[in-house]
């Protein structure tokens, strides 16, 4: 998984897996989901991220169940 914040475009991308995007769906204004040809979710794109996420340039990871 890769998280990218582009300050110039104010877009936050969360890439879940590599692959070629076959279809994109804007599920609500500013939230775009990208799918491959098999319908698997590849990535999420959040437009105007600084208006929707506190500190989009900072990433915090949490592992549930990790010992």
- 19-36: pLDDT as tens digits: 999 999 999 999 999 999
Distances (CA, A) of 6 to 11, 19, 27, 66: 5, 21, 21, 31
Confidence of residue 67 (pLDDT cuts 50, 70, 90): low
d(CA 48, CA 11): 6
Per the domain annotation, does 28 fall within a domain? yes
- The mean per-residue pLDDT over the stretch 47-51 comes to 93
Whether 66 is in a domain gets the answer no
Q: Is residue 43 part of a domain?
A: yes
> Which domain covers residue 11, as residue numbers?
2-52
pLDDT of residue 59: 77
| Number of folded domains that form the chain | 1
32 domain-assigned: yes
pTM of the model: 0.82
Query: Residue 47 has what pLDDT?
Result: 96
């Amino acid at each position: 998984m890769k998280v990218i914040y582009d300050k110039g475009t104010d877009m936050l991308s969360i890439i879940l897996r590599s692959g070629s995007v076959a279809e994109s769906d804007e599920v609500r204004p500013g939230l775009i989901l990208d799918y491959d040809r098999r319908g698997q979710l590849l990535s999420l794109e959040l437009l105007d991220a600084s208006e929707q996420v506190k500190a989009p340039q900072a990433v915090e990871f949490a592992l549930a169940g990790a010992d």
